């Protein structure tokens, strides 16, 4: 039997209680082994790591979360904008529930930003961090603060108005997959899309499907830190960090993302390594990054 199928068969579903409902997760390995937490990107779910997990060294306890508002996890309570701080607090609830004192972490895109923020605020918890193609978060200059805040408020109210008392759009499975394949800025293979979408769909009574993702994710989750605040946060990260930069992600070339990456590069604990692939390289071509992650996370010597 192929190695990845063995790993998938051994996956266990867990549910972690939180005040607004629950956070779902898939786990591999024994809870007493060295813990590794996985955080996915915006509008994805924990299945995004299904092809990477089997390529990582076994003998660890892998916990892949559905971040609130994604996959099988409950949405946050309605009525407020979701921010990185909201997610960091949710992750702390998970860590406290699991009674973890120290752990390693792998985050993709938004998940990497959440992990980075967590590592800044709670540096004693994260031993090593892998950030997979995190384009941001971008800083907000003081003179742009008012317009930034007004746009956030207006966008939240607009999303609420559009979704209030309305059923979400309904699709056949093929229509839903086609949306994943055509609407994402980062292109997935059909195989990757099938893996990811399985955990993002809710079957309706008519046999069609709706996406489970919280519509508030269409509103920017950026905290709105100034460049100086952002620099302070990044330099509060004390653990070794492997920042994997996807060569085919054009968004990485935006001025704001270049500035953020320059800040990360200025922290001596952070090493940036460019890899071939697009933003979803971990799902489309996990073999391109698995050895880098294994060497960094699971070897005594982490020099690449």
pLDDT in tens, 140-199: 999 999 999 999 999 999 999 999 888 889 999 999 999 999 998 899 999 999 999 999
Q: What is the pLDDT of residues 220-270, one digit of tens each?
A: 999 999 999 999 999 999 999 999 999 998 888 888 889 999 999 999 999
- Is the pLDDT at 50 greater than 50, yes or no? yes
Q: Which two tokens stand for residue 272?
A: 């940036």
- Is the pLDDT at 303 greater than 50, yes or no? no
- Is the pLDDT at 44 greater than 70, yes or no? yes
Number of residues assigned to the chain: 304
- Is the pLDDT at 304 greater than 50, yes or no? no
| Residue among 297, 298, 274, 253 at smallest CA distance from 136 | 253
**Residues 6 or more apart from 61 whose CB is under 8 A from it?**
27, 28, 29, 30, 31, 32, 33, 34, 35, 36
The distance in angstroms from the start CA to the end CA of the chain is 32
Mean pLDDT, residues 8-21: 89
Taking the C-alpha atoms of residue 112 and residue 281, their distance in angstroms, rounded to an integer, is 14
- Is the pLDDT at 1 greater than 70, yes or no? no
Give the pLDDT confidence score for residue 165 in this predicted structure: 81
Q: Which two tokens stand for residue 182?
A: 């055509």
Mean pLDDT, residues 21-48: 96
Give the pLDDT confidence score for residue 300 in this predicted structure: 53
Q: What is the pLDDT of residues 93-150, one digit of tens each?
A: 999 999 999 999 999 999 999 999 999 999 999 999 999 999 778 899 999 999 999 9
Mean pLDDT of the chain: 93
Give the pLDDT confidence score for residue 69 in this predicted structure: 97
Give the pLDDT confidence score for residue 5 in this predicted structure: 38
Q: What is the phi-psi region of residue 30: left when phi exceeds 0, alpha when psi lies from -120 to 50, beta otherwise? A: beta
Mean pLDDT, residues 269-286: 96
Give φ, ψ of 166 to 5 degrees. -125, 140
**At 9, which helix (H) or strand (E)?**
helix 3-9
Q: How far is CA 127 from CA 85, 98, 261, 283, 295, in A?
A: 21, 16, 21, 24, 14
Q: How sure is the predictor about 204, in pLDDT bands with cuts at 50, 70 and 90?
A: very high
- Is the pLDDT at 54 greater than 80, yes or no? yes
Give the pLDDT confidence score for residue 6 in this predicted structure: 39
Please identify every residue annotated as catalytic.
109
Taking the C-alpha atoms of residue 107 and residue 9, their distance in angstroms, rounded to an integer, is 23
Give the pLDDT confidence score for residue 251 in this predicted structure: 85
| Residue among 63, 66, 67 at smallest CA distance from 11 | 63
- Is the pLDDT at 38 greater than 60, yes or no? yes
- Is the pLDDT at 7 greater than 60, yes or no? no
% of the chain beyond a pLDDT of 70: 95
């Amino acid at each position: 039997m192929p190695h990845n199928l063995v790993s998938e068969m051994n996956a266990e579903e867990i549910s972690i209680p939180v005040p607004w409902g629950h956070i779902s997760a898939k786990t591999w390995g024994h809870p007493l082994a060295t813990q590794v937490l996985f955080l996915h990107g915006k509008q994805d779910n924990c299945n995004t790591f299904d092809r990477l997990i089997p390529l990582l060294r076994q003998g660890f306890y892998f916990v892949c979360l559905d971040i609130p508002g994604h996959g099988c996890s409950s949405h946050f309570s309605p009525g407020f904008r979701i921010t990185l701080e909201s997610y960091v607090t949710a992750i702390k609830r998970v860590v406290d529930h699991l009674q973890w004192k120290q752990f390693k972490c792998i985050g993709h895109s938004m998940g990497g930003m959440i992990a980075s923020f967590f590592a800044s605020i709670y540096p004693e918890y994260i031993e090593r961090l892998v950030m997979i193609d995190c384009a941001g978060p971008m800083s907000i200059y003081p003179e742009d603060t008012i317009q930034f805040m007004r746009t956030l408020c207006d966008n939240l109210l607009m999303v609420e108005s559009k979704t209030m008392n309305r059923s979400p759009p309904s699709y056949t499975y093929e229509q839903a997959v086609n949306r994943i394949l055509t609407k994402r800025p980062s292109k997935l293979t059909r195989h990757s899309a099938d893996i990811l979408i399985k955990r993002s769909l809710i079957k309706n009574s008519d046999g069609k499907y709706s996406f489970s993702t919280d519509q508030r994710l269409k509103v920017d989750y950026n905290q709105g830190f100034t460049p100086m605040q952002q620099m302070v946060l990044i330099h509060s990260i004390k653990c070794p960090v492997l920042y994997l930069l996807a060569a085919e992600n054009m968004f990485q070339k935006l001025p704001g993302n270049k500035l953020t990456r320059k800040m990360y590069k200025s922290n001596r604990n952070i090493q940036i390594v460019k890899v071939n692939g697009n933003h979803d390289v971990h799902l489309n071509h996990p073999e391109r990054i698995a050895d880098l992650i294994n060497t960094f996370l699971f070897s005594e010597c982490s020099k690449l």
